[in-house]
Structures are given as structure tokens and as C-alpha cells.
Chains A and B, each alone.
Chain A
């Protein structure tokens, strides 16, 4: 069963195509990671799914409801946390929660209990009467999440929920996400942190508005044609030029933190033994680098 199904979805702003003919499916109860650099069209896609933007072309359904026609019905079923988690700064924690409880017409008793649950989830029990403006980034983020899931939505859209939040809060946040997922909530989350993407059941890579690869992280990693080598070096850029001038055989070559990554066909591994290269399992970032490169080449051809 799929909670979200999208076919040939596009969105143009004037001449510019922000989302270009995207088709994807999100399994009910899974965590779908929407991955891509800034400006690639992640938010635009999410906003179309939430009924905040009308698609220029294509169609989509959420729990069988059409995203263009049934926006009002969809609103009861989804939770959405926008990129800059927007709370009312001049309201207290509890006032923000009460407000959204009202927006979703939660019944009084039930609502009170839900609000307590959200306070516990965000670790904000002792800060109920603090203004949202005075909360730290991590608390703000969890409060925004609390407001977005007060009404127990079966589907949750999170647009870069971990932007500008410290690593500890990021981990706490992901723990909550897992929990929700285990309880059956379908989650679609955008990010540009590759390590977060590793935790997703399924990933969609989006680049320049196009969905260039989809699949579970493990499967995507097998997409690399060849073997990945890692060469530790304090000056990766210099080594990179050396390899290029020596014309050592490679499929791809790029700096990766304080390392150099080289993608080679298995029979060319020996050429790099002198450089103390070692074979590593590719990360999602390696896959993404490769996909972007081949995609660029396709575009040019």
C-alpha cells in the first residue's frame, strides 16, 4: 500500500521549472527521505503535496485523495512542518499548542491529554509558560513538531526539520521520527544531511527539479559501477591534480573531507596501491556525487 503516489508532477514559476516531471511512491508506514542540494525543488514538491501550491502539471494522491481536488480533506490527514518551523513567537509553549488544538478542533478532554503528550515528547513540561521566542533551536523544532502532529496525522511531511539545530537535538528529533514511524505514521522528510538519509527506508534523489534515483539506501549504494577507493591525504586537491596529470585510470575522482575518493573498475585497483588507497563501502554521498555527475553529462549530451 502506498500513502503517497505522485505521477509526472511538475511546477513552473514563470519560465523556470522548479519541479520537473517527478513520479514517486511512498509506502504506508515508511520513512521516505527526499534528498537534494538547496534549490533542487524539495520544498516545492512538499508544498504541492500539502496543498500549498497547485501543480502546473501531473497528479498525485495522498491516502487516495487527489492533491489538486481534495485539498480540504487532505488537510485533516497530514501534518506539515515547514522549513522555517513557524511558531508564534509571542505566544507561550502551551498557547501555541492550544492554538493548534483549536485549529484541528480536538475535543476538549482528548485535546488536553494530547497536549500533555506533546509537551512530554518535546521535553517542554517545565517550560509550558515560556514564550516560544525564548526557546532554543532544538526546543523550537520539537514544539513545531508537536504542533504538527497534535491531531495524530497518518502522514507527516517534514521540510528540512533539522536545519540550524545542534547535533544532540538532531539525534533526539530522529528518535521521535523513528517512534512515530513504528507506530505506523508515514513520514516524508527532506534533508541535505546524508547521514540522516541513511536512516530512511527509501530515498529519492532530486537534482535540478528532476528525480534522478530512488530506492532503499542499501540498494542505491550498489548503483555505483566499480569499486570505491579512499586515499587519506592532508592535501586532497594537490593529490587530485597529480592523479589527473599522471592519467591514472578512474571513473570518478573527488575530494571527500580530508580524503580523496576514487571510483575505479576492479582491474584498475592496483594502480592506486602505491598511494595507500583502501577499498571502502560507498556512502550515500558518494552515490549522490556519482549520480549528479552522470546526470550532468547526460544533460550536456
Chain B
């Protein structure tokens, strides 16, 4: 107990002396959140669009208005021939070209189908798929409108659509990416700083020779590891708090569930990441190696945890690999509590997974640590 206390006092003094690192650890999450939250907007809207309207009729203008109303297309260029459409797309000034045929209104009036060409710059697949689905949606809605009007005209009765499928995006109804991103970034920041900080802190003592001096004292391995974990739990909480504050104040992130539960479960993730850092320190000889190995954890955490890509769509192997990363479970906890407002009754598997992870990694670390000494 005495030993652990002395170790903690020492760690806190060192942390206080190294103000720069501490400030970095607090400023870093703020910057990351602002950059990711604003820059990565996974909903693509307001695509610069060039239209070549050969019909110039009431119907064609009406159709354009519907497209514009979807919010996906900004009609900022008007073309007078095919060449202008091509030029604008090639130069990148426009991302979408819409070509309305001269017989657009005639065809509609006579009950024929009228072909509208939507040319999309698919070099950015995210842009392309948004534009395509938006255009298809508008096309279908307009068609239905025409058909319903026509039916009503024939029969004099009004009709309802036989199938009325309405998609309601729950939990994040406006598809605001920031809502989805903020919890993710919080998890990513914690992973990165926690893993790197502990692994480097331990390896630094090894490089300076102070670790050897510690080992000849009666200090126990588990006390040493606890002494390296506990101080950084505070840092982790400081980061989490800052990240949540930015989410709430800047991005209006609503926290649907219990903030207390969120904070409680965050400790599990922080400890899991710190344990991973300890394990890395037992595998590396230099701070450089520790840093590289931390990145080795960091990259799969970004790619496989569900932060960037939905895990449901991953090949089985990667899905399975993702289950080895604490971030995978923490993201589910974060999004569950923040966006869905769910509680422990839903999240207990994730909690269990984190607890198992911590126990396994810490046990391996303690064993490896003792081997390393001898």
C-alpha cells in the first residue's frame, strides 16, 4: 500500500511537471473533434449540378425544382449542349449533369416514359451514391405523382399508394454525422492516447534505467502496473469529459441515456486501453517501438471497430478480428447510451467483453513483465 502510494505520488508529480504533454492530451481531443466533426460529413449534399434542359417546359422546370428541393443538387450551371455538360464534369466544376430530353413533356402527357439522363462523377463513390439514390428517389416520387393524377383523372376517385414504405431513420433522424462521429472520435482519441501513454511511460523508465532500480526494490509487479494505470485513468476521464463537452456545446449532441452509466463504463474502456499499453511495453525495448506498436493497435481500431465502416458489412474474418479490440465494444456502448438511450440490460455483453479483455491482457502483462526482468 505504501509502495503504491509512493508510486502514485511520483507519477502525479511527474505529470504535473510535464505540463506540455498534459495540455496536448486535453487540446488534442478538441482539435480532433472539430476537424472530424466538421470536415467529415458523410451525407453528401449540395452537389454542384449542371442542367441541360432541352424541353424548357412547365414539367421539366417542375422536375428540376423537385431535384433541387431534395437538397442534394445545386443547379448552378446551365448548359446549352452536351459538350458544355461534359466539359463541366471533366473539369470538376460540376459533380452531376442532368440532361432533359426535348420531348420530356410530350412523353409524359401521352403516357410514355420519359428518359432523364443523370450523369454522375463517380470518382468519389460517396458523392456518386448519394446523387444516384437522391435522383432515383425524386424520379420515383414524380412518377407516382403523375400516375396517381392520371388514375384520378380516369376514375374520378382518389387513390392511395398500394405500398407505402416509409423509412424512418431512428436514433439519428436527420442523419447528422456529427452525432455518429463524436462518440466514435471520443473512442478513437482514448484508444490512441491511453495505449501510447502507458506503453511509452513504462518503456521510458526502462530506457533511463529507473525500471531496473525499481525492480530491485520490494515493489511488486502488479503494484508497478497499477501505479502506471491509475494516474492515466484520470487523464482518460479528462479527455472523455472534454470530448463530450465539445460534442454537446458545438455539435448539439443529445445524450439520450444515463450520463452516469456512460462515465462508469468509460472507466472500463480506459483501463482496457491502458492494459494494452502495459502489454505493449513488455514487448518493446525502445519508446520508438512502443509508439509503432501502438499504431499497430490504432489502425485496426479505426478500421475494424465500426468507427469508419459498418461491422455488419465486413467479411467474417474482419468482423471476428474486430471482436478482439476494446474499441469495438466501447463504440457500441457509447452509441447505445448517447444515441439510443439504452442501459445495462442491453449493453451487458459489451461490458462483459471489456472485463474479460482487461483480465486477460493484464494477466499476460504481469507474466510477461516477470519474464522480461529475468
Contact = CB atoms under 8 A, between A and B. Distances in A.
A102 B216 contact: no
Interface string B195-222: 0000000000000111011111111000
A90 B217 contact: no
A99 B373 contact: no
B13 A91 contact: yes
B9 interface: yes
A283 interface: no
Contacts of A103: 3, 6-7, 214, 217-219
Contacts of A90: 13-14, 17-18
Nearest to B4: A102
Contacts of A91: 10, 13-14
Contact of A51 (B6, B7, B10, B216): B216
B-side interface mostly:
helix
A203 B56 CA distance: 107
Interface in B1-58: 2-3, 5-7, 9-10, 13-14, 17-18
A178 to B, nearest CB: 23
Nearest to A89: B208
Contacts of A80: 213, 216
B209 A82 contact: yes
A171 to B, nearest CB: 25
A128 interface: no
Contacts of B13: 90-91, 95
B217 A100 contact: yes
Given A91-B13, A91-B14, A95-B13, A78 B216 contact: yes
B371 to A, nearest CB: 10
Nearest to A75: B218
A88 B18 CA distance: 13
Contact of A86 (B6, B17, B210): B210
B6 A102 contact: yes
Contacts of B208: 86, 89
B374 interface: yes
B356 to A, nearest CB: 30
Contacts of B18: 90
A54 B374 contact: yes
A52 B215 contact: yes
Interface in A28-82: 50-54, 72, 75-76, 78, 80, 82
A33 B27 CA distance: 54
A53 B218 contact: no
Contacts of B216: 50-52, 75, 78, 80
B76 to A, nearest CB: 59
Nearest to A55: B374
A82 B212 contact: yes
B6 A84 contact: no
A87 B210 contact: yes
Contact of A75 (B6, B7, B17, B217): B217
Contact of B6 (A82, A87, A98): A98
Given A75-B217, A88-B210, A102 B7 contact: yes
A86 B213 contact: yes
B17 to A, nearest CB: 5
- Of the candidates B10, B13, B217, the one having the most CB atoms from chain A within 10 angstroms of its own CB is B217
B5 A84 contact: no
A118 interface: no
A105 interface: yes
Given A52-B212, A86-B213, A88-B14, A102 B218 contact: no
A192 to B, nearest CB: 19
Nearest to B10: A99
Contacts of A147: 213
Contacts of B9: 98-99, 102
A82 B10 contact: no
B10 A95 contact: yes
Interface in B228-274: none
Given A88-B14, A99-B10, A72 B218 contact: yes
Given A72-B218, A75-B218, A88-B210, A105 B3 contact: yes
A101 interface: yes
A104 interface: yes
Nearest to A107: B2
A124 to B, nearest CB: 18
A91 B13 CA distance: 8
Contacts of B215: 51-52
A102 B3 contact: yes
Contacts of A53: 374
Contacts of A104: 217-218
B2 A105 contact: yes
Contacts of B17: 90
Nearest to A78: B216
Interface string A96-123: 0011111111000000000000000000
Contact of A88 (B10, B218, B219, B373): B10
Given A72-B218, A82-B212, A52 B373 contact: yes
A102 B215 CA distance: 14
Contact of B218 (A50, A83, A98, A105): A105
A134 to B, nearest CB: 13
A130 to B, nearest CB: 13
- Of the candidates B208, B213, B214, B373, the one having the most CB atoms from chain A within 10 angstroms of its own CB is B213
7 contacts: A80-B216, A86-B213, A91-B10, A91-B14, A99-B9, A102-B6, A147-B213
Interface of A: 50-54, 72, 75-76, 78, 80, 82-84, 86-91, 95, 98-105, 147
Give me the 5 closest cross-chain CB pairs, A-B, nearest first.
A102-B6, A86-B209, A103-B217, A54-B374, A105-B2
